[in-house]
Structure formats: structure tokens, C-alpha cells
Structure 1
Amino acid sequence: MLRHRWAQIIVSLLVTAAAYHLYAVLAVPLIEPQPDLHGSSQRSVDFPADQRLQQRLQALSAFFPGRSQLIKNAKMLEIDQTTLLFQDYWNLGEGRVLVRPCLLVFDSRTSASPKWPSNLPEILILEALDGAIFQFDRPLDLRTARIGRFIAGQLLGNVVVRGENPTQDHPDFRLTTRDITVTEHRVWTNHPLELSWGKHRARGAGMEIVFRGRTPFSRGGFEQEPLNIDRFLLRHVDRLHIDLETVRSSDKPQAKGAMDSPSPPSRDEALDISCQGPLLFVPAQKTLTLEDRVELSRTQNSQSVLQLRCQQLVVTFQEAGPSNSTSAPPAETPASPDPSSVKKPIPGSSRWSIHLVRAIGRPVRIVFPTWNGELQGEDLRYDAASGAMSLGGSNGVQGKRGKDQFSALAVQCQLTSVGDIEMLAAVGPGKAQFTPTNSSQEWILTWGRSLTFTTGSNERVAALQGGVQIEAGDLGTLKAQEIWCWADAGLRATDFASLRLRRFVAQSAVELTSSQFAAQSDRLEAWIKWDNALPTQTSRASHGIRPQAVEQSAGKDDSSALMTNTGQIALRANLLRMEFAAYPGQAAELTALSADGNVVADERPQQADLHPLQLRGDHLEVTHPTRPSTIFSLTGNPAYVAGRGLALTGYQIFLDRGRNLLSVAGVGRLDIEKSAEQMIPVSAEDRVAIQWNQGMDFAGRTISFHGGVQLTSGPRRLQADALGIELEEPVILSSLSSFKGHQVRLARAIGNVYVENLELDPSGNLVARDMLRVSEISVDFLSGRVSAPGPGRFGTVRQASSLTGIFSADGVTRPVTQGQPDQGGEDNSQGNPSPKTSPNQDTGSPQANPPNQRLVMLDISFHQRLEGNIQQRQVGCYGRVKARYGGVTTWSAQCLPDDPALLGPDGMVLNCQEFTAFQIFGPGEQRPHLELVALGNVTVEAQFHTARARRLSLDESKTLLVLEGDGDVPAELYRQEFLGGPIQKTTARRIYFWYSTKTVKVDDAKSLEISRSPTVPLGG
């Protein structure tokens, strides 16, 4: 648009040349013969018949109001679309002829030529009332209707060229001057001239047009090239006024029906040019030059928006592409008697456009009055092809806007259609200073290589390169090699004082320092959201965010502001993204943060006793990090968060402190330095680690772990498909102090549950290993109740104690050979001893006991349920209970076979319906002793003993085994001293057996039998 507008300006400057081109178009067909295709140099002139003459004169009289009598008596010559009217002529000899008056009418509507300029009136009229003198190469002879070749001419007195618009489609056109001299190669006048073309105006003096080669005056008609000008000179330019709104409207094609639609309101925009020296136009070089105190001013609504002052202004043009636009043919008028001869427009007319504008001076000064700014240098160049304007000089470039200012070695910029700066590029080193209206602090920008500043409709974009530093008041200091900034202009688009930073991007060696952060990264992206409405007084202070009163009533203390009151965060990452909220007159608040690539964050706490926060991962996102409603997301391979005695590892960690939610997607691990007040079901002195494969969810009161869950705490381990923990009181994640004094109410493990506990002596030596396999288990820590549905399996491996040799013939415990198959035995376990173990395989515990240490194992399976109480130290198994007992060689043993013959001479298998175990502290005991009770069809099978009873009880502290029958069925005990020896059968209501002394006592004995049969059928 700008290049085309300059082309229109030049057309206006050359309008006088167009007028004389018009003269050539009108005069040449009359006074110069057209080329004869058959070689003749003569052409005929059409003399209308009398009746037709009167009709034509009457039609032409409408173009000459007040001169009807002159037209009525005029003589008329018609050649194509040109009509010459005169009253008389005189042959002055030597081929000269005087015509008086000289009236020429050119009607483009009747021309067969397609080359009439569409922006000129359809009818042009030239008036020289004092007449005109034409000179030909032979005397004029109108009787033969033949004329010679034109040599020279002169329009005498006042000369007026004006336009007539019967269809009102073209602006008014009027050119006035006097005494124009015309030769074959030159047209000139020394007198003043004035031009009005619609809203365009021009005034000057001393015009000269020089033609190159054969000119239109020496050619045959308008069908040839209209002008071949060598130079155009106007020795003095008083004023050249170009109406830009008219130029823009003429550039736009008019759509069908546009005449009927209301036109948009017009703007008063114009361009005024003046100079003390000449205006020179050289078409061959495509240059226009103005010299000596050149002043150019652009106005809008009578207000100046752009001013240029220099000593010399040079404009270079270039050929533009052909115009393919067409216009509708004009309507038929009385002056157009033959509609078939109406010209039809065709595409292909070429136009010129601005290529380069150069202004030279000391100084060259560009002023932008609308925003009180200016640029100053010595050499200004404007490249219309690229739309770039450059300004430089030996003293560099200085710019200012009110109190704002900057300096640089050179400046390139581009202007908008209303004269504002659209783009500005400053070559460094340079410096810029300005004070935003929303801050009392001055912003300082320095750069080493370049600064580029562009404007949109209401946006400002700045790009700084090379050792950039931005000191932005309360926002802190930013350093980088490259920085891009986006800002809003505020209430007024051209008011730099109301500039509001909206976004900035920094790259390469980025360092950001503020009261909340000390960040380093390869790239930083930040957004700033401005809000004119001030926040509530209780929700915000000038240097941070304070919790709302409603949050304090919910138990959220002031220490919940994670990065405001606890300390500064030192953050490193490959890419940082930040979002700030800014309010007029207030410090900016960090509302969102994200980091990508090798994220490392370390807290610098203000409290010495507070464990600092540490973060490691690949991607970090934090929303409202200075508020209790923080939303936190960290991903990595894996991601790691530690602090306040906790360490959390996972591929994706999510925290919503406002909704009190914490979750980890996929595989993860939680390490707790010390459990507080039974927060989890382990000792408070143990370090706890929980691992899972499919995620963790925390919702204030409940914690859920999913997929391959494993909990370890010192010598304790739990494995399950899922683990759920319910707390007595909810944990408020927005309050750091809420992590103290919370007790677990309920814990529930589901799916392939495996529990292992290792018991150590004070020296750290292993003395017992307990195992439990169930499908599900629940623990109520308030009541101590434990429950699990069947089937399940419980086992314990211990050092040989007073239990050893209960049914052994010689009192020596013999281990079961590990790896022997279970021949016909019943395996009621869940088939999931551990993801890493199987029966009789290593579980990470000691693989073998020392040679002097004897190990025994008790393996219990049940089918119905397990119930117990951890506070009362008791556990009961129900439904088809089977207990296996025997010696083992390793702590990692998982189960025992069901066949007593495979358990060794000291092994046994016990079957019953209920089996209960108690741990009881006796007087003076440091370790609890074991009491066992079996009920319901109790049978005991061993290599040397077999027993049957309704009830069996064992007291470890007394080394006493009691077998009891009922009123109908007595208790039975079968003993054999050695394999193949005699069998002793004892039957009684109650049998007491002290296995440490091999002493037997019976109550209400029924019988005592001795048999030599080596086997005794239990069913007999």
C-alpha cells in the first residue's frame, strides 16, 4: 500500500506532464497525419454535414456554459475521438497557422484505443481563448482536408485544461497556466501553474518537459506510447498536497452494487511537500529529486502525524507488475452517438512503484508528533520493496519520546499507514531507558549487538541480542544473550509510558534473580498477566501472598506459602516457563512455573531446623507456588522430591494442595525418614520405604498404593497387589506442620498379600522370621484387630528353643531336606510368596544358619479366615487348619511338606478346625512366650507319635502340651520309642505331656495299650 501511495504522489507531481500529454493526444491527431499502412504520409479530416454539424455543436455546447454563441458559430474538425472548435484561422506562412480561439474536446468514450488512463476524466477540454499557433512542414490546406507534419506550436495567453464527467465516476480535474511552448522534443513555460485534481492540489513555477527520441508530437496517434519523457523539471515547488484517502479509494476496485451501499466515513489524510530548490524527474533513471530545505508532512484529521526535514530527497522508482483489473464500460450518453464504438478496457497496463527513498542532511530529522517522538541521524534510506527504512550517520542515531530515550549506532524502522513506528531495529551497542506508568521505577535495557522493536494493533515486540540485561524493577534482573519481549501499549497504543510487559523469552546463559527465585537455564519463557482490579487486602501483600482467612480456619497456617515464607528456590533447568500476575502499584506475583530438561531445584530455607526441599526430574509444573492452593506436577525417569523427612520417587508426581490431593502415576517409591506416632504400621524408629508399580493416590485421609506394592521398614516387609491406608485425622498438605501427630486408623492389603517380619536380638542377629500369605488382610490400629479371609498360609522360622523335641524321640531337632517334593501334601497358600521368591528360595535374608545354630519352622495353612489382635498379641486361624512343624537349614525356607514322613523324626503335622496363638509376657520375662490352642477334631501326626483330641493346648513357658477329649470321645496318644518299636496307646479325658522332661500325666484314664504293630491307622 505504501509503495502504491508513493506512486500516486509522483503521478500528482507529474500531473502537468499528463496535461501536455493530453495536449499531444488532442492536437497531434488534428495537426499530424496518422501513418498510412500503404505508405502515405497524409490523412484526411472529417468535415461533418450541416445537419450533423448542428447536432454535434449543440451536444458540445453543454461543455462550454456561457459560450453558446461562440460554439454556435464555431468551425469543427473531428479526427477519431478529438474535436477541434475554432471560429477562424489564419495562414501565417511557412507552414504556420493561427487558430483562434483554440478549443479541444477529447472524448475517450468514443475511442477505439484501450490505453486511456482510467483515473483521468472521460472528457478532457483544453481552452486557449487567445488562440494557438501551429507550425507544419508544409502550408495548411483545408480545402483538400490534408495537413502536414507538426513541427512546433504555442498556446497563447491563459491555458486551462479541465475535465468533464457525465457519469460522475472521476474526480474534477483542472490545470491553469499560460503561454505554453511546444516543440517536437520539449514543452515548457516560465509562468506559475496550479493544479487541482479532486482533493489533490499543486502549486509551483517554471515547468519544463523534455522528450527523448520520437515524441508523441512526432508520432501518429494515441494508439502509440503516450509519453517518452527524458526529464521533467519544476524549478520551484510552493506546495504539493496529496489527499491519501482519495488515493486509497482509487486503488480499490469497486464491487458490484457498491454505489448503492453506504460508504464508510472518510478520514482527512494528506501529504504535503515543499522545497526551496528544484523538483527534477528523470524517467530513464526512474528518479525524482527535491533539493534545498525539503519538508514533508503527513496529516490526519488536520493533525500532523509524520514530519521529515532534510537537504535532499531522492526517490527511485521501478516497474510494477501489469494491472489485470477491468472496469465496466460507461453508460451511453448523448455525446456518444455510436454505442458500438464505446471503448472496452483490457488488462495489461503497467504502473510504476517506489523502489528507494533517500534523505540526506545534517541532520535528517524524523518527527512523530502523535507520540511526541523523533529520530535523528544523517543518512535516511527507505527501501519500498522490503519496507525497511534505515537511519545512520557518523554520530550514530538518537531517539527520544518524552523522558524515554535510546541511542544506537544505526537504526532501521518501518512506518505504519498513519505514521507510527511499526518496526524499529537498533544496531548496538545501545541503551534504552523508560519508566512504565504502572511503576515508579525506571527500566533499563542494554544490549551489545542489536535491538528490534515492532508494533502491532496494540502490541509491542522487542528483540535484544548480545550480552542483554534487563533491570525491571520489582520483577528483578534478567541476563541472557538473547531476549524477546512482548508488551501491551495500555490505554493508548502510541503511549510508551503505559507500556505493560506481557511476555518475554530469554535464551543462552539465562540468569534470573528476584526475591523468590535464583534461576539458571538455557531458555526462559515468561508471561505476565495484568489486572487493573486490585486483589483483596487479606489475600495479598505487596511482597507476597498471605493465606485467606477461610484457609486459616481450615487449619492452614502461614507457613503453607511454600516459596514465600520458607525461603528462596535455586532452580536450574534447560527450559523454564513462568507466569506472573501484576497489579498497578503492586509487586508481581509468580502464579505458574514449569521447567523442562535436567530439572534441579534446591530450597534455601530461612529456618535452620527445616529440612530443605529438593527436586530432581525432567519436567516440572507448579501453579500458584506462593499460595496454599499450589498445584504441583513433576515427571522424570524417575522424578525425585525430598524434604521435610520424606523422599518421593516416581515417573509422574502430582500434588494439588488446594484440593488436598497427592498422586504418583505408574512405578514409584516413598521413603519416610521416621514414622511419626504410628503414621504407618511400623516402629517409629524405623525408616520406611514403600514401592509400587501402578500408582499411588493420597486424598487427605486415605492413601492408596496400586500394583506390586512392597513396604519395607527395617526387618519388616509387606507385598500385595494393592495397599490402602486410612488415617484417623486428615493430613492438610497446605500446612507443613500437619505432618506431625497423625495416626493410622486402618490398613488394608489386597491381592497376593505377603507379609514378612524378621526378629533380631540386641546384637542384630536374626532369631526369627515370620511369613504370612493371604488374599487380603485388614488391620485396625485403633482396636488392634487383624482380619484376613481364607485360604491363607502363615509360617515362622526360628532358632531351636524349648519347643524343639516336642515329639522327638531323642530330643534332637533334625532339619528337613530342602527341595524335597510335597508328596501328596496340601498347599493352601496363594501361590505368591514374593515377586522375587518361591518356596524354599532365598528372599534376601541370611541363606544358612551357623553350624551351631538349629532352625525350626512352623507352617500353618487355613481355609476360612484369619483373625487376631496386634495389641493383644494373638492370632487365630479358622477352617480346615493344618500346621506343619519341622527343622530347616536356611532362614529363607518358605513352607513345609504335608507328609509327616518327610518332616523328619522331630516333625509333625497338626490338623484342626481352629488354631490360635498367643504371645504372653510372664513375670520376669524379657521376651514373650508362646501359647497355642487347637480346637475341633485335632489330630497330630509324626514319625514316632500320633495324637487325637477335641482340644490341644501348648504353653511354651511351662513346656506343657495338653490333649483334651470330651464326654464321648477321649483324647488319644500313640507313642513309639524307635522306628519299628512297640506302640504305646494312652486314652484319657485329658493328657498332660511335659515335653522337656518326657513326663506324661493323665486325668480320667481310659486305657493303656502296648502293641508291636509298626503302624497305627488313625481312623481306627
Structure 2
Amino acid sequence: MAVAAGGVAIIMAVYGVLLVPLIEGAPQERRDLASLTNPVADWTETTEVDFPGLFPPDAWELGQRKRLQVDQGTAYFQHYAPNEDGDLEVQPFTLVFAPARAIDDPRPPEPPLVLTAPGGALLKFDQPVKLGVPRAGRLQQAVLRGEVTIDRAAGVDSDALHLVAHNVQLQNDFVVTPHRVEFQLGGHRGAGENLVIQLLTDAAVSPDSPLPPIRGIRSLELIKLDYLILAAPPNAAPSPTLGTTEFEVRCNGAFKFDLAASEATLRDQVRINHWSQATRQLLESLAADRMTIRFERRSDATGRTGAYGQSLPTPTDLEIAEVLAVGAPAILDSPARRVRAEAALLGYSPTDRRINLQDKQRVLLIHEDMRFEAPNLEYYLTDDRAIGRAFSEGPGWVHRDATPRQAALHVQWNEAMQLRPHDGLDVLSLYGSPEMSLGADSQFTAKNLHIWLREVETWEQGSEKPTRRVEPEKMLAEEGVRIESPQLAGNARNLEVFWEVGASQPTINDTGATTAIPAQPAGHSSGSSSPANSPFQLRADGTPGSNQQRMRVDGDLVRVHLKPAERSYEVQEITVKGSAQLREESAEPGVEPLAIAGSELRVESIGQGLFSAYVVSEQSMGKATLAARGLELFGAELQMDQRTHRTWMEGPGEARFMPTGESSPNSQLDGPATVTWQGGLEFDGQVVRVRGQVVIVFKTLGRDGSRSVVRIQGDSLDVTLNERVDFRTQVSPRSNKIEVERIEMPGAVVLDHWESSPQGEPVSIDRFLVRDVALDYASGELSGLGPGWGQSIRAGQAAPLESQPATPDARERLTLVRVAFLDRMEGNVLRKSLAFVQQVEVLADTAEHWEDWKDRETMLSSPEVVTMRGERLETAWVQDEQTRQASWEMAMVGNASVQARSFDATAHRMVYVESKDLIILEGNQRDDAQLTWARRGAAGRDSARARKIMYWKTLGNVEVDGVSSFDATFSGRLDRGGRGTAPRQR
């Protein structure tokens, strides 16, 4: 026995002197790992149980062993032997670090940390250990030989730890080994080389004071990581059918797990793969230059540990909360969720499925067919819903490429983007003048844009589970809204759009895949039942054969209700408030577009692409309530039905009719004809009927520059157009322009006419009272029924002969003419001709001013009045071909007579030529014309009877033809033709 003991001692001494320095290196002065309570420590033989339940029942730590009590823990061993250096060889060896706890702490104690080395350990003290003396100095270092295990049961604030290493050195709160290590922490496990464990202690009060107790492990580091398997949270899998998943982590550099901070760091070509354990399907991968994995403890991890070692077999409580990756760029690829992300700084949380991207240049996120780029993005993936949550600050854009079944989509903004839940839906908000384009022809801009989205489930034929898709429910665009698309365009201060709920919507994503940022309607219809010329069918394509008619909507607030139609959306209702305008933009030349304007406008779809409109307008707006095909309507309230071509209006209003391009030889219409009323309007597409104090006004422009204005007043008016106004189509009318054809005013009518010279001076004012007036607008033909009467005030008188120029007073004289008739009135306003039929009476007198209107009795009492009677009176505006001067000519036919102060006459036909102040009297086969006149200075009157008599009233000259009798001092020409009766002279 003595020889054996001596041999063992020699072997241990050689090991301590030669092998230990080779393994651990040269001794270094370090702070003590563990110390005795007193400068000299005692170890004792014992069988007492210090930690109930910590060791198995057959463990040697519960039998006869030696115990070394230190401030930071308790060491156990069975055999020992000092070596030549005074160090102590022990075998086997177990070191227990039990965290201290207050007596009144109600929580279960944290499990101790246990280091076990069955192969023994070399203990180094600050003074040599002597054989036979069970006393040692301060412990400086412990070298655990062979296989070493480090264990800690699960506690309230810690997971179970099991680590297997070889030849471990324990010194100054560090546990190190250069050899391979395998470990498991809760549900996480890994392996590598060059282990460094830093123990968790509080700072010592002073170098000589007892060391504070070890409370656990601060960090675990592997200089070379072979692999790291992290248990995934239960909800990390994209689908419950994938079962349990795990994260496989590899890198070319170091791995450090800071348990105190609950985070792990990895360096150099780090890659994380998320696998399904059952199918080994790759769900996600993350590659970067550096990574930090942050863990969080589950909040329900309490009360599962009783006495030492009595932890419940629960899953890991330390779960992955977030992965922070740094790279150039860091790349996240998720085939299961169809997501790819790139950024210089990428944060990913498998628990709440949050992706945080930041980059000085731009980050990239591709979700299905949507591509997102911005300086930063925070995005939350969801598995049970197609829509996630997202936030981005700064300018960015989203793009979707075109496919054969859907149009390209591009959205960009300048300030921020948010995708968040709101009122049971999800709302996408874009700030900073966002712009949206769909296809090559549709653009949308506003200051801010909000789109509310909902998810619906649809069952595809042959599918075993429903497909989720995203559909818009409503949209709000704020300030500076502009829309440009093939079917709809416009501007508004604010825009609200509502999509019909509960109907079969058009497919937004043709693949049936879910999207996080809403896709738009594909816009390509095949076999739509709507008419090709529907002005309110919104489509995204501009393909040949599609409708090229477009409507423009402008206003302060535009509210649009949409309904699905095949693979597009159609407008169900449009409401515009504040400076409302709806205008048709036609691609066909020569077609006057439809335009509706008012303070409020509501347009409703009535099926088959047709609509009805309701407009509230204000006179102060100065814009037509409705304008189409050369017709303009103004009114407070207007309604329109596109299907029946019916337009109606209650209350006062105004209509304007554009003039025809044709003109008469003398004049043409100057500007539109205007109609005002007080009762209301009915329009069936071709006939406009208005009632209640109706006034129609139109103007003409003469070739010589003279102007005239005609105003007709009555109780009702019918305006017939040359063609029917078809609001349902943009096909050009036969005449290329829809114009007024005929104007009719039944009942009593007042007609006023003003005429001015090319210099703008008044020439005449006419006023007539008739019944049932009708006007052919293009030709100018005018008619009216009697009995009626009219008055006219005209400037100037008969032009003198060239040898006798007129005086200025004569040229400025005003003449008042009154005409009364029994049967009818007819003529042409463009040619300035007018006729009055049956029992016509004309009274002429002087007027003092332009408003010197007189009744019949007053005029008959005037000594200067001229009275003319007959059966038909014709007036015409005649232009001299030589002098180019125009004047009025007036002809009375049938029992014509005239009475004046200076002459009297009767004839079958009597003509007055204003330019010459000439009266022409003509008889017929039965009766001669008769003239009685007074010569200047003569005591009596002269008289003449003849077939034709011409009398120059101003000069007093007479010329006769076919004389029957003549009783006068001859002056002029006698023609014996005709009857051959010699004149009688005085």
C-alpha cells in the first residue's frame, strides 16, 4: 500500500508539473474564484445531504465524501493528493454554486449551477498543500480533467442548462476550454469549440472581502460555432399544418450568448434557416454579416420549480423575440410566406412576425407580386389574414409588374406609409402627395390617401380550402386630388370612394395569393355585358376596341360608389359637392361633349351603363348646369335620365342655344339664343319645353356692322332641335352639330326688337303683342297670330334729293309707328322683313325720345299723325346696290289708304320708300289709285287718279302712269298709256 500510494503521488506530481502547464499554460496571478471563510480552510468528511433532490439517489455526492465549503459554493470530492507544487489533486470532483436568497423571499429558489468532473480536478491554492494536513489556503484555480458537465435545472427566471466539455479551467468568474463543447439550453442546443463562460456575480466590496455568491451564468461564448439549433415559438410556423419548427444557425465566426441580457450575437457570414421538423421544408432564411438574436421569457413561466431538481418538464421558456441582422445587405427570404426583404439593418421577429428594415439608401420588400422600396419599413406578417401591418417613414414606392391578366400598379409617396387596423378593417395610409398609377393610362394623386381594406374568402373549384383575397371597401383622398384614367378623370379637394360590400368582387390577385398591400382591379374584361359606350365603366386597360369615352368629375368633395362588373368596377353613384362639374371627354371630333355643373351633383347608375343625374346649382356660379351638343341649361335644380333622354327642372332657369353656321345675305345670328323662365323645364332629347314668364333673346349681326336684338316674352316656350340629343352615345350626329330648329311660344307673346348702327347708335326700337309666335331658328322665318299690335320708334326721315341736302335736325328726328292687325304676323328676322295680315292699321307720328311710346287714341289726336290702313302690310330692309345704303320699304296691299295732314291716298297697293320719302300708289283692274295732296303756298289741294302714282312727299312732286283724272298744276310726267284719259289741269 505504501508503495502504491507513493507511486500515485509521483504520477500526480508529474502531471501537475508537466502536463497541466501544457494544457492550461503558465500560471497567472488572478482574482480568486472561490475562497475559504477563514485564511485557512478545512475540508470535512460528511454524508449529510446539503441539496435535497439535486443529485440522483445513487450519486457519490450523497455518500461518504469530503466537502469544501466556500462563499460562492460547495465542492465535493472523495480522494485527494497534494503534488510537488503544493496543489491538490482531487477525484472525482463536483462544484455546486447555489444562488443566495433572502429568508422572506416567497419565490422558489433558483436552481444551483453544478460542475461535475468524474475524472477529477487540480485545485491550486495560494499556499502549498501538505500531505496529511487537511488544510488549504485560498483557492486560485480549478482545472477539471476529462469530460466535464455543467448543469442547471430550470428555474423561475432561467431555463435548464446541460453542457458537456473536456478539460475545463475555472478561474476568476470564467469557465474556459479550447476543446469541443455541446450544450443545450432549454429547447435550444448547439456545438462548437473554444468555450468561454462568464459567471454571473456581483462586484466585490474589497479585494480582501469574501467574494459575492455566483448567481448563475452571465454569458456563454464559442469562438468557433459548428451549429446552433434554436427552438421556434409555437406560432412561428406560417401554417399549423407544418407542425413544430426550428431555427438552424451557422456562421464562420464567434457565437456569444449573453444570458443576462437574453441575447446572442454571431459574426461572419451568418445564416439562419427556419425548418419544418416534420417535412424538412425550408420556410425562411436570413443571411447577414452580423446578427443579434434577442430572447424573451414567456410570461406564464412561473411556479414550475419546487425543491432543487424538481422542475417540471415544460417546453423552453426562453423564446426568440427578435433577430437583428446587419449586412450589405442582410437578406430575408421566406418562400412559405412569399416574402423577400433586403436592408443594411434587418430586424425580424418570428413571434409577432415583424420585419423591420432600415437603410441609408433604400430597403427592399417583395411580398408576392408587390415590390416595396423605401429608406425604412416596419412590416408585420400574418398567417390567419392576408393583410399585415406596415409603417414606413420617408419617401417610398410600391410596384407590381403587369401580367397578361392584370395591369401594372405603381404607388409612391414622399412622407410616410401606414398599414394598420381601423374600425374592424385595415387601412392603408399614404402621406406626402402620393401618386398611384394603374397600367399605362391611369394615374391618381392627392396630398394624403387612405384606403380601407377587407379580406374575403373564396372557394376555387377543386380547392380543399378557401383562398383569402384583399378587397377595397372605401378610400379617402385629401386635398389636391387628381384622377386620370381612360374612363374617368377629374380634380377634387377631397375624394371618397366606396366599394359595394357583399357582392362577388373582381379578382384582385389573379393567382389567388394573398397580398399585404392591396392590389388594384386587373381591369381587363372579357365578355362584359355592359354597353360599349357606357360613360361610367371604369377599366384599367386601353386596349383596342375598349370604350374611348371618358368622364371628368371636378368638385370640392367627390364621393363615388363602385360596384363590381366582371373584372372591373363600374360607378354606381357619384356625388359631388362644391363647384361640382361632370364633363364628358369625347375622342370623336365634331361632337359637343356633355357637361353638368352645380354646387351639388349626384349621378346614379340605372343599369346597362346608363345613368340619371340630379344637380343643385347657384346663379352666382356663372356656369351652365347642363351643356351638351350645343345646348346649355342653367337652373337651381336639374334632373336628367340618360335612358329616356329626359331632362327636367323645377323653378326658374335659363337655356342657351348655340347659333347655326348658316347666315342670310344681310345678317347672321350673333352668339347664342338665351331662354329664361320661372316655372320649369322639360326636355325629351329633342324638344325643350319651358313655362312661366318665358323670355327668349337672340342677336343678329348685319354685314354692314349693324346689330339687332330680339326679345320674345310669353308664358310658355317649345324649342325643337334639328336632331335628338343622345346622351348615351358619342356617335356624331348627321349634321355634326345639334342646333335649334324651331321656336314656338303659344299664347300671348310680347316681341321686342332693338337695332343699332355700325357705330353703336340706336336706329329703331320695335315692340309687338301677338299670339302663338313661331320662329325657324336657322332661316329666321317668324310668324304669329292676331289680333295683335306693335309699335316702332325709328331714327331719321326720308332722304332728300341730291340737289336738296337735308338739315341736321331732319336726320335726328324720331318717328313713332304703330301697327295693328287682326289675323297674323309673318316675316324673317334675319332679312329684316315683316308682314301683317287683315285689317291692318298703321299710325305714324313724331317721337321726342326713345321711350316716347303713345297709345292709339293719343296718336290719332295728333295733327301730324299719318294713318295707313289695308289688308296686308309688308316691311323690308333694302340695301341700295350703288350707294350700299339701306333703308326701310313698306307696302300696304288691299284697300290701302293713307291719311296725313298734307295728303290723302287710296290704292290697291301702296308702297313707301324711306330712303327717298317716296309714296307709290298702284290701282288694280277695277279701281285706280287716288292721291290728294297740298302744294306749298296753294290755297287748295291737288288730286290725281291713275293706274300708278308716285309722290315724293318732301319735294311735293307727282308722277302718274295710266291717268284717269288729274286736277293740279302740272309738275312731273304724264303718261297717257292705259286708259287714255286726258288730265285735268288748273
Question: What is the TM-score normalised by the length of structure 2?
Answer: 0.49
Higher helix content, 1 or 2: 1
Higher strand content, 1 or 2: 2
